Amino acid sequence: MYAFQYEQVTSVAQATSLIAAGGQALAGGQTMLAAMKQRLMAPEKLVDLAKIKDLVGIEVSSTSVLIKAMTTHQAVELSADVFKKIPALSLLAAGIADRQVRALGTIGGSVANNDPAACYPSALMALGATVLTQQREIAADDFFLGMYATALEPGELITGIRFPIPLRAGYAKFKQPASRFALVGVFVAQTEKGVRVAVTGAGNGVFRHDGLEQALTQSFTAQAVDGIKIDPSELNSDIHASALYRANLITVQTKEAVRLALTNA
């Protein structure tokens, strides 16, 4: 590690001021600290958000679940309110990395980082969530812009994520064994307006699939996706899995997500 300035703040206003002066926001640190050790990042000033009480907690209404940005994966996993309203979101959190990472990693940090194989982006996209910042509200469809890229402006902080409560939802992930990131993860959400399907791990960031959505809107069954073509031409191909293999996994994981949605409804 190298020398840097460390600032611990207790309010969003303090954080915003220090970040505007060149500081780098630090949430759970599960990605950033590892990147710093490898010299992939070298911020001169870290602004630790962990003590901002207003950024921690879960609020539930009749129509939505609001998860504040510094809420840990473990808190989402163990929340009875989240499991009651959106069990797929609770189960998604339970499958992130290992217990140590879940105890420290935060939903806001994960969403802001937008790793192309992270789980949460698929939940936001499929559920039609809204990203809240200290400045505005951003629809999930407009938030994720590709690998590690988001619609956040310099100095803009995520303060929470608001998830509409679906009729049913399920998330299925084929894990890379070492990291437990998704080789392919599929989140399926049935809403009153139709079905939304979001895929993570397979491409250059999270994306929705029109063909799967149309098929499942017509019939919310695992069999409905049989025959839906998954084009491998824009999917990832690496040492872990070929694009063709990932294309097949999208179909397999979509079916499993639908089965889980029907089981946990």
C-alpha 177/C-alpha 159 separation (Å) is 32
Dihedral sign, Cα of residue 251, residue 257, residue 259, residue 262:
negative
Dihedral sign, Cα of residue 143, residue 149, residue 153, residue 156:
positive
CA angle 86–50–110, rounded 5-degree value: 45
Ranges of each domain in the chain? 1-52, 168-264
Reported pTM: 0.96
Tell me the pLDDT tens digit for each residue of 131-145.
999 999 999 999 999
Tell me the pLDDT tens digit for each residue of 165-220.
999 999 999 999 888 899 999 999 999 999 999 999 999 999 999 999 999 999 99
Tell me the pLDDT tens digit for each residue of 69-102.
999 999 999 999 999 999 999 999 999 999 999 9
Task: State the CB neighbour count (10 A cutoff) for residue 167.
Answer: 12
Q: For position 159, what pLDDT does the model report? A: 98
Contact 108, 27 (CB under 8 A): yes
User: What CATH code is assigned to 168-264?
Assistant: 3.30.390.50
Tell me the pLDDT tens digit for each residue of 33-76.
888 888 888 899 999 999 999 999 999 999 999 999 999 999 99
What are the tokens at 88? 């797929």
Q: How are beta strands 207-208 and 194-200 bridged, if at all?
A: antiparallel
- Give domain 1-52's CATH number out of 2.160.10.10, 3.30.43.10, 3.40.470.10, 3.40.640.10: 3.30.43.10
CA angle 2–103–153, rounded 5-degree value: 60
Q: For position 1, what pLDDT does the model report? A: 61
Quick one: 176 exposed, middle or buried, by C-beta within 10 A (0-12, 13-18, 19+)? Answer: middle
Q: How many CA atoms lie within 13 A of 138 on its CB side?
A: 23
C-alpha 115/C-alpha 197 separation (Å) is 18
Q: Smallest Cα–Cα separation from 131: which of 118, 140, 123, 142?
A: 140
Helix axes 87-94 and 120-127, enclosed angle (nearest 10): 170
